[in-house]
Amino acid sequence: MQPDEPLPEYQVYALRYATRAARRSEHVVGGDPHDADMPMDYFSWVVTGAGRTFIVDTGFTAAMAAQRARRYLRCPVDSLSMLGIDPRSVEDVVLTHLHYDHVGNFERFPSARFHLQERELQFATGRYMRYPFFAHGFELEEVLGIVRLNFAGRVELHEGQVQLAPGLTLYPAPGHTAGLQIVRVHTRRGWLVLASDSMHFFENMTTDRPFTIGWHLGQMVDAFRMVEQLAASPDHIIPGHDPLVMQLYRAPSSELDGVCVQLDADPARPAPASRHIRRGR
Ligand SMILES: [Zn+2]
């Protein structure tokens, strides 16, 4: 790509594959005085453009949903065909981190290399896994599966920021886990950030109250600030588990209603704004 060539404008989709009922107090450190229902959704994301397809996180299986008492809506990998994507031919999968709801189904991508921060693999195999608080979000067999893939030469272990393609860059944003990464992608409406679990809900960021499961509280709030800096506006931030995403954005076609929303199109209404955002970039 020549320096003066315009950046590709990627299409970006969120696939909602599971949900669970929960209370507000479960989602912020220190609880919440207005305890009320606050369900959590589960997503995989898809980035396509310039002749390439990137899957961002691979969700979990029906068996895992049963094991962890989540309500499974559909397999995110099976849903890819609705976007014309054959998982067997996908060459790049980004794993934002190795928690069970982001890395299950990895074996359904036999042609892919997996992009992960090396720090995340160290964390998921390191000394803190003896403590249930840190280990609970990981599944041993899945961590072992990624280790096996690495021995097979199929894991790109990144150390820091990396550009996967023009207009598509991964940034470490640790806090929730020690090696979590986020995705910044160029779209027709500007720079979008797939924030994954650097924020589970918009509200974590807008109130500066981290999610209850985390590695480092200070880094979690630092990650909020980083996401704000990298996104073109508050409307360009996509949290990892917020049901609001399905309400703010539209399905790319009527048959995908409730299954998938298109994130490179403007939201139907403004996203919750952050008081920290510097506008005009
Ligand atoms: Zn998650």
Q: How many angstroms does the Cα of residue 22 sit away from the middle of ligand 1? A: 14
Would you say residue 281 has pLDDT above 50? no
Q: How many angstroms does the Cα of residue 105 sit away from the middle of ligand 1? A: 14
Q: How many angstroms does the Cα of residue 20 sit away from the middle of ligand 1? A: 12
Answer positive or negative: Cα dihedral of 27, 34, 234, 51.
Answer: positive
Could you report the per-residue pLDDT of 152-177, keeping only the tens digit for each? 999 999 999 999 999 999 999 999 99
Q: How many angstroms does the Cα of residue 273 sit away from the middle of ligand 1? A: 22
Which stretches within the chain are classed as H helix?
Answer: 62-67, 76-79, 100-103, 118-124, 132-135, 140-151, 202-206, 217-230, 244-248
Q: Cα–Cα distance between 82 and 84 in angstroms, integer? A: 5
With beta carbons less than 8 A apart as the criterion, state whether 62 and 77 touch.
no
Q: How many angstroms does the Cα of residue 178 sit away from the middle of ligand 1? A: 14
Q: How many angstroms does the Cα of residue 233 sit away from the middle of ligand 1? A: 23
Answer positive or negative: Cα dihedral of 266, 269, 272, 275.
Answer: positive
Would you say residue 197 has pLDDT above 80? yes
Q: How many angstroms does the Cα of residue 4 sit away from the middle of ligand 1? A: 38
Q: How many angstroms does the Cα of residue 280 sit away from the middle of ligand 1? A: 31
Nearest Cα neighbor of 99 from 46, 157, 59, 131 is: 59
Q: How many angstroms does the Cα of residue 197 sit away from the middle of ligand 1? A: 6
Task: Indicate the pLDDT class of residue 75, thresholds 50, 70 and 90.
Answer: very high
| Burial per residue of 201-237, b for 16 or more beta-carbon CB atoms within 10 angstroms, e otherwise | bbbbbbeebbbebbbeeebbbebbebbbebbbbbbbb
Q: How many angstroms does the Cα of residue 236 sit away from the middle of ligand 1? A: 19
Task: Provide the residue type at 54 as one letter.
Answer: F
Nearest Cα neighbor of 137 from 88, 180, 82, 75 is: 180
Nearest Cα neighbor of 17 from 87, 104, 125 is: 104
Q: How many angstroms does the Cα of residue 177 sit away from the middle of ligand 1? A: 10
Q: Indicate the average pLDDT of the chain.
A: 94
pLDDT over 70 percentage in the chain:
96
Phi, psi of 60 (to 5 degrees): -135, 175
Task: Provide the residue type at 127 as one letter.
Answer: R
With beta carbons less than 8 A apart as the criterion, state whether 129 and 138 touch.
yes
Would you say residue 280 has pLDDT above 70? no
- pLDDT, mean of residues 62-85: 96
CA angle 117, 121, 124 (to 5 degrees): 135
pTM: 0.95
Q: Cα–Cα distance between 177 and 170 in angstroms, integer? A: 16
Nearest Cα neighbor of 79 from 97, 59, 49, 98 is: 59
Hey, how many other C-beta atoms are within 10 angstroms of the C-beta on 110?
11
- pLDDT, mean of residues 265-278: 74
Structure tokens at 215: 């590695």
Q: How many angstroms does the Cα of residue 44 sit away from the middle of ligand 1? A: 10
Q: How many angstroms does the Cα of residue 133 sit away from the middle of ligand 1? A: 15
**Residue-level pLDDT at 49:** 97
Q: How many angstroms does the Cα of residue 3 sit away from the middle of ligand 1? A: 36
Length of the chain: 281
Q: Cα–Cα distance between 176 and 198 in angstroms, integer? A: 6
Q: How many angstroms does the Cα of residue 48 sit away from the middle of ligand 1? A: 22
CA dist 12 → 149, 162, 239, 249 (Å): 27, 19, 14, 11
**Residue-level pLDDT at 60:** 96
Q: How many angstroms does the Cα of residue 6 sit away from the middle of ligand 1? A: 33
With beta carbons less than 8 A apart as the criterion, state whether 32 and 212 touch.
no
CA angle 158, 160, 166 (to 5 degrees): 80
